[in-house]
Chain A
Amino acid sequence: MTTTLPAYDEVVARYEPVIGLETHVELGTNTKMWCGCPTDFGGEPNTRVCPVCLGLPGSLPVANKAAIEAIIRIGLALNCSIAEWCRFARKNYFYPDMPKNFQISQYDEPICVDGYLDVEVNGETVRIEIERVHLEEDTGKTLHVGGATGRIHGATESLVDYNRAGIPLVEIVTKPVTGTGALAPEVAKAYVTELRDVIRTLGVSDVRMEEGSLRCDVNTSLNLPGQEWGTRTETKNVNSLRSVERAVRSEMLRQASVLDAGGRITQETRHFHEDTGDTTPGRSKETATDYRYFPEPDLVPVAPDPAWVAELKAALPELPRVHRRRLQEQWGLSDLDMQSVLNAGAVELIEATVAAGTTPAAARKWWLGELSRRANESGVELADIGATPAQVAELQGLVDAGKLNDKMARTVLEGVVDGEGSPTEIMTSRGLEVVSDTGALTAAVDEAIAANPGIADKIRSGKVAAAGALVGAVMKTTRGQADAKTVRELILERLGVQG
Chain B
Amino acid sequence: MAAISREEVAHLARLSRLAVTEEELDTFAGQLDVILQAVAQVGEVAAADIPPTSHSVPLTNIFREDVVTPCLTPQEALSGAPDVEDQRFRVPRILTEDVAS
Contact = CB atoms under 8 A, between A and B. Distances in A.
A295 B54 contact: yes
Q: Which of A44, A46, A93, A142 has the most CB of B within 10 A?
A: A46
- Chain B CB within 10 A, most for which of A29, A36, A97: A36
A110 to B, nearest CB: 15
Interface in A51-83: 51, 54, 56, 62-68
Contacts, number: 164
B19 interface: no
Contact of A37 (B68, B73, B74, B89): B68
Contacts of A275: none
Interface residues of B, number: 41
A41 interface: no
14 contacts: A24-B101, A30-B66, A36-B70, A65-B65, A85-B60, A96-B91, A138-B101, A157-B85, A157-B92, A158-B91, A158-B92, A159-B89, A162-B77, A301-B60
A291 B98 CA distance: 13
Interface string B66-101: 111111111001101000011111111110111111
Given A37-B68, A65-B65, A292-B15, A146 B97 contact: no
Interface of B is mostly: loop
Interface of A: 24, 29-31, 35-38, 44-51, 54, 56, 62-68, 85, 87, 91-99, 103, 105, 136, 138-139, 142-146, 152, 155-162, 169, 171, 269, 282-283, 287, 289-292, 295, 297, 299-305
Contact of A65 (B63, B98, B101): B63
Q: SS class of chain A's interface: helix, strand, loop or mixed?
A: loop
Contacts of B73: 47
Given A47-B74, A49-B72, A54-B77, A157 B90 contact: yes
Given A87-B54, A300-B59, A49 B92 contact: no
B100 A300 contact: no
